[in-house]
Amino acid sequence: MPVPSRCIQVYDTTLRDGAQGEGISLSVADKLKIATRLDEFGAHYIEGGWPGSNPKDAAFFENCRGKLKRAKLVAFGSTRYKNTTCEKDRNVQMLANADTLVVTLVGKAWDMQVQVVLEASLEENLDMIRESVAYFKRLGREVMLDAEHFYDGYKAAPEYAIACLQAAVDGGVDVLVLCDTNGGSVPWDLQKVTATVVHRFPATRVGVHCHNDMELAVANSISAVNAGASLVQGTVNGYGERTGNANLMSIVPTLQLKLGYACVGDALSKLTSLSRFVDEIACQKPVSGQPFVGVSSFAHKGGLHVAAVLKNEDTYQHIDPSLVGNEKRILVSELAGRRNVLSKAEELGLVPAGDDAGARQEWGNRAKQVLGQVKDLENKGYSFEGAEASLELMLRRSVEGYRPPFELLDFSVTTDNKRIHYGPNSEGPPFNESVTQATVKIALLGPKDGGEACPTKICLEVAEGNGPIDAVNGALGKVLFSMYQPLQTVALTDYKVRILDSESATAATTRVVVDFEDSASGRQWTTVYAHPNIIVASVNALMDGFEVAMWDSLPQCCIG
């Protein structure tokens, strides 16, 4: 790792610019939780929102005041409106009343935007910038200018774009933030322009704010730093309007690990947990392939790759995953090699530790057999990449003497449809009420008797549900949850169905994936099953998931 040089300040705008992304809505409580985690991560500035735009942001500033331990809380707003003063401008006054140590003012830096959007003269816009900055400096605030559309403005009218920055400097601005608001700049052009600004205003800090409309926001941000910028604005996971903002989850580790800049120090190891925490709060599905923090970032699937990375992780990993709080994963699929499977068995603790060559040879042969099963099953429609618990079941079941704690002997499902509308004038479908009932017979297995597993108790249960799968799950739960305490905290968190060969119409193979979570331990796992009958596929995926839940308490599984 390079020796850290100058510090690059991290300015997070997830709570304001990130929340403008489609499908993202954050409550005041959500914002407070995210702000706390950003503070722990080491962000230098946290932009809380625009207090003049909505009551939610105003409430956030009131509740967050004094809560941050290290980061500076920032209130965002615009320069004063035309034809008025800062003292009379309502938004400026609400920004002042937020009572933050830092204020970021957005001001137009593109002549076209000034004339078309603000409908102000170019000179009036310069006055708006200068007077607004000076007003907050008189209040004792640290002031940043977000020079909106700066890079586009510089292309169109460089002298005026620079004049906008000069107006802010004349007002006493602390940081000039150059914005690629439309996300249309390329790194080599942006770096040249940034270097020009840094040279022109040597006594003023320069920052950068990029959007991702061309998938270049991260590259542009890093280019700006190379040109002399000392502050980078961005969001967690790249949230933001349109295609998003610059992704701090990529920028921060790149600056710190690859280029040697000081950003957040040892707190970089919290990067992955921060990313996933914010996804959870914002109700966003994590992007598995997101660099540095995605679950697939350090996942290895190809047999040759796995064989190499198990000898030396540097062969197919550009950094140690633990530096960003992530971990290496070995995937098993039809593309895998025997070493993939053996590595998974070692991870589960199934392979004896030490130099027992005989045991390792035995597991090597067993891994080869399991790999053959995996390839055969994936050919039939299974996919074990996202359902590692099913693969782990295969490995455990391959061990001589393994006995499941329970066994489903048989089940049946019936659905009765009731006609509740009669007569020629009845509205609605003829059958619009149904009752689904499932019956399951389960053997609860006890200790071995003469080398064979003997059922000590057979249970028959019936349950109703909204549909066949819900009914079966209810019947299984009646038996298993009452008999096995570890299962009482287990719940289904997701249920997904995919038709694999739709051209086969109603005879198509169905792949069912079920996600589980144990609320007591926080443990999560996923099982998969494929079958032409969706109910058979679902029931088997459910049973496998419940069996996985019992692994940590197998001694409790035998009764009688």
Q: pLDDT per residue over 68-119, tens digit each?
A: 999 999 999 999 999 999 999 999 999 999 999 999 999 999 999 999 999 9
Q: List helix spans (H) across 55-207.
A: 55-64, 90-97, 111-113, 122-138, 150-156, 158-171, 187-200
Predicted confidence at residue 395, as pLDDT, reads 77
Residue 288 belongs to a domain: no
Whether 61 has a pLDDT exceeding 70, the answer reads yes
Same domain (yes/no): 196, 169: yes
> Which CATH number does the domain housing residue 427 bear?
3.30.160.270
Is the residue at 294 inside a domain? Answer: no
> What pLDDT sits at residue 247?
98
| DSSP structure class, residue 399 | S
pLDDT digits over 129-165, tens only? 999 999 999 999 999 999 999 999 999 999 999 999 9
Closest to 170 in 3D by CA, of 197, 121, 122, 203 = 203
**Whole-number pLDDT of residue 3:** 47
Amino acid 337: pLDDT: 58
Q: Band of the pLDDT at 1, cuts 50, 70, 90?
A: very low
pLDDT higher for 8 or 300? Answer: 8
**Same-domain status, 129 and 258:** yes
**What pLDDT shows up at residue 423?**
57
Q: Which of 397, 431, 457 is the last residue of a domain?
A: 397
Tell whether 225 and 314 lie within a shared domain.
Answer: no
Dihedral of CA atoms 357, 362, 367, 368 in degrees, nearest 10, equals 110
Same domain? For 177 and 310 the reply is no
Can you list the alpha helix ranges (DSSP code H) found in 227-356? 248-253, 271-281, 303-311, 338-347
pTM summary value: 0.70
pLDDT per residue over 241-266, tens digit each?
999 999 999 999 999 999 999 999 99
- What is the reported pLDDT for 348? 66
Q: Which of 281, 310, 333 is the last residue of a domain?
A: 281
Per-residue b or e along 8-17, where b marks 16 or more CB atoms closer than 10 Å to that residue's CB? bbbbbbbbbb
Tell me: do 329 and 273 sit in the same domain. no
Mean pLDDT for the stretch of residues 317-326: 91
Q: Which residue has the higher pLDDT, 138 or 557?
A: 138
| 455 in the same domain as 393 | no
- Same structural domain, 154 and 266: yes
Is 142 in the same domain as 29?
yes
* 448 and 370 belong to one structural domain: no
The yes-or-no verdict on residue 214 having pLDDT over 50 is yes
Domain of 352 in residue numbering reads as 299-397
- The CATH number of residue 260's host domain is 3.20.20.70
What does the pLDDT average to over 13-30? 93
Residues 177 and 234 in one domain: yes
On whether residue 260 sits in a domain, the answer given is: yes
pLDDT of residue 311: 80
Q: What is the pLDDT of residue 556?
A: 43
How confident is the model over 352-389, as pLDDT tens digits? 666 666 666 777 777 777 777 777 776 666 666 666 77
pLDDT of residue 272: 93
Burial of 533 (0-12, 13-18, 19+ CB in 10 A): exposed
The total number of structural domains that make up the chain: 3
On whether both 216 and 311 belong to a single domain, the answer is: no
389 and 461 inside one domain: no
